[in-house]
Amino acid sequence: MAPISKECDFLVIGGGSGGLACARRASGQWGAKTIAVESNRLGGTCVNVGCVPKKVTWNAAAIAETLHEAAAYGFHVKETAPFDFKTFKHKRDDYIKRLNGIYERNLNNDKVEYLHGRAHLLDKNSVEVVMDDGSKETIRAKKILIATGGHANTPKHIPGADLGITSDGFFDLETLPKRVALVGAGYIAVEMAGMFHHLGSETHLFIRHDTFLRAFDPMIQETIVTEYERQGIHIHRNSTQSKLEKDPSNPGWMKLHYTDKASPDGATMDLDCLLWAIGRVPEVEDLGLNKAGVAQNDRGHIIADDYQNTSVENIYALGDVCGKIELTPVAIAAGRALGNRLFGGPEFKNAKLDYTNIPSVVFAHPEVGSIGMTEPEAIEKYGKENIKIYKTSFTAMYYAMMDPKDKAPTSYKVICHGEDERIVGMHILGSGSSEMLQGFGVAVRMGARKRDLDNCVAIHPTSAEELVTLK
């Protein structure tokens, strides 16, 4: 082993949201000598190829949607040129670069030493970092955190699959495709399908079953699938893909071979972009986990308990690399709690993140929000006779001026348990759901009962008032 070149109290491998939150808490608040290592851009998936550029793109799609709807309110908007996707893309890139710089300055302000390189565990206290210029640093650390996140998965069994892109490649596109196919049924596929469609691409979404967002409440699944079809997104149910190949007669285009419910014997489609959104895998390939004895599950995720402890006493893990709840705010909260527990003194000896009742949102068109149990989960845990469902579906006032065929749905469901009707699940779909759920999420976390909703005076006229007037 190479001689030790650096020593520290805390070494953080991974410069994403969770790792940086923990590193800054350990060093900036508690004074631990901390080193952070990242091989890509600071900010991780969320900042570079996830939440942040996704939301910027969603905003652009929402503006396009509003321009289309403006005529119903008497506005006559004439576009003098088509949407300039290239200019938009470059401005979005510039915004992300500014955020990368802010993250690096924040590390410096909190006295975290930052190394840009690839880290490999040598043993439970030693890490080798291969720097950008090929030189190597060997670091001895009292405690090590692995927060390397994950990366998009692609199918290995489909010939030509590498002709497609993943969600990472979505943010590299310089032009909008004319016809795009997305394969997947999770929130990434659903969000990107909505964005492609509203920005002007002919959009096809290939799913394995009859609905998408299958981890969400059935009300959400059924409503959003119907709405996407109303908008003109092509849903290919019960689909499989067998081959993707270049079209030699049409440069830049490909031919997808597939089956679906409508074509069980097989069909082909010409397209100029295919996006695989079939899940993510942990970023652990060359970490050297076996050298340190860090245990993984059968999907490759690092096994960590509620306190982020791994199978090795002084090595911890959090965020997407653990595969628990893959959301940026979850990793940040877990990171800060771990920083407090490891370095904050005895009053923080039991600090950890509570992983129950974590709100989440899908930036679809319209937005989806969810916290707590789905109806099937609540029935399984408590029994159907012990829960009560309150739900409503209506047309938001925004659509009052539009033709019936142009009106989007709004649907809410509140799931209550026991005689005192404690809220154990809330699921909302409709415009503004992302902002709305943050406040209601606080109430659910505090143990709100149905009567608490009833006792809150409604704000009128809003969609949110329907949640406090449910019968």
Quick: pLDDT tens for 244-275. 999 999 999 999 999 999 999 999 999 999 99
Dihedral angle sign, alpha carbons of residues 188, 194, 199, 203:
positive
Q: Return the axis-axis angle of helices 218-231 and 187-199, rounded to nearest 10°.
A: 20
Catalytic option among 76, 236, 427, 460: 460
Whether pTM exceeds 0.75? yes
**What three-state secondary structure class fits 33?**
coil
Q: In 364-446, which ranges are E strands?
A: 368-372, 387-394, 410-417, 422-429
Q: Is 305 left (phi over 0), alpha (psi -120 to 50) or beta?
A: beta
Q: How many CB atoms lie within 10 A of CB 133?
A: 6
Q: How many CB atoms lie within 10 A of CB 21?
A: 25
Known catalytic residue at 460: yes
Quick: pLDDT tens for 128-163. 999 999 999 999 999 999 999 999 999 999 999 999
Please state the rounded mean pLDDT for residues 436-456.
Answer: 98
Quick one: pLDDT band at residue 79, thresholds 50, 70, 90?
A: confident
